[in-house]
Structure 1
Amino acid sequence: MQPSDNGLTLIVIKPDIEERKLTRVLLNKLKDKNLDIIYRGLVQFSLELVRLFYQWDVVIHPKEIGEYLCIRPMTFLIVRGDGAIPKTCAIKQELRKVLSNNNPVLNLMHCPDSSEEFKHEYALILKQQTQKEKKIMTEIKTNNQVEVILFKKKNDKTLFLVLKRNPQKGGFWQPITGNVKPHESFEQAALREMEEETSIKEYLEFVDTGYSFDFFDDNRNQHEKIFGIHVSEVSKVVLSSEHTEFQWASKEDALNRYLKYPGNKEGLRKLCEKLSI
């Protein structure tokens, strides 16, 4: 899996797909390509939202666009599956073969062409939702994960933070880990997870180890990137409910006494290489 592929995309179902009775065709094509609809919602577009959504400088045909996209709320789908973005783009092209070329405004459906477009459009749609809907949408799992290794300097030694998961979640030791939310970059997710799992907000240095690995969990392929974050010696760790203990460990102790999984150990080794330790 490519690191930019978070396994998600979105589809905005436009009015003419329903008028042409092609909605069922779309749903069948998603199923045929092993894509699952994990969320269905409504979004009310204004002309300004249309402009921001498509990243236009101006809306060139405001009357036609307004009548087409802004009269009533439109259904949007959040879709999950390997290669979700290219697969939905292919479906869009298949469906558009039924169209004549005399009205370029009418085009059945929208889906992003890249993960960058997806994050941009997802964030805009998210802002239009109610608080309840926002909570559901921000908890949608992507196929991307982060591992964040906090480290600090003390008496000329480098110590690394390891956390013990609560017994219900395995009771093993690990660095900070978490899922990348649909609208986040890996780096944004790393900083958010640091704050959520330790309450630490400030840092001295952010290190991309350049190391990542793929694994299968929760019935899907996942991609994990490893980062190191240098924090102050006096940073105070306040654990979330996910963990019960923490230790600031030397490289040797972290590798030999605490960390359980090979991916976590290799991530620490790669960070130490970056730090010349």
Structure 2
Amino acid sequence: MVLAVLLLSTGISADMGPKASTRIRFEGLEGQRYMATLLSPEPFCGPYTALEEFPDNPRYTPEDPEYPIWEKFVAFEGPDGWYFLQYFQDCTETSSFTWGYFPPARFKLLLYFPEQDAFVVSAESYERYAFDSLFTADLHDLSLSPGETKIGEFSMQRSYCYLWQIVSFFCRMAATIAIELVVAVLFCYRARQQIRIVLAANLVTQGILNLLLNLTAYHAGGLLLMVEYVLLEFLVFLLEATAYAFLLPRYRPAGEPARRWLAVIYALVANGVSFAAGAAILIVTPGFLLPVPF
């Protein structure tokens, strides 16, 4: 059966998430109808392509309701070397734009106002800086005339909310230390020096672990985060089990056998429970598996 599976199987390609995203919040355009897109220095990005370079790959047809807007973007003559990749959104109701599937790594923001038949394009280019890159565009001072194209006229800043990263880090640290101390007491590791050993070990191992998780979530997203979490937690268990097996029995009550194996079981139970608690915190915290709020 194994040989048959190896010989008769075929390769497939699967698209797995989550994917990196670029999100922009607009301020100062309340009450106006407008569409947004990102111009790319490359003629393709993932499944998105520039029509002038790939004329056989139009993403809209005359039957589509958005076809007239798409035509406007296609006909736009923007900065030299920047391409419209046939992806746009109507941002009138949401006051935000999200490109959540293969967004350009470097881009310029382009807005179209159908009532004025006018365009606004950013003068400078921007880059994605995180797995979920958030920006805020301030257009309070924008004024448009029918049919014109304005370059600049607004500012855009990074607006990633680092608060959730910090809150999640300290919540995971507090939960881990509290759980491991409670489990230590249940395993009869109650001597002051034993508690200090458990506390010091967790401050070091869990501090490094959770810092790496935060950096991974920020730069690479939730899928790699969960894989890394399992592997790092296993490494933490090995380190703590080794340290506990050598250190905790030294401070046992007089006459009690060393029982180094019990310290290893304690490390396994304590890390298993703290792993589950940490995973639960990661799941409910924005920026790890949930999108970061503006």
**Which category describes the TM-score, using the shorter chain as reference length?**
under 0.3
TM-score scaled by structure 1?
0.27
Structure (1 or 2) with the greater helix fraction: 2
TM-score scaled by structure 2?
0.26
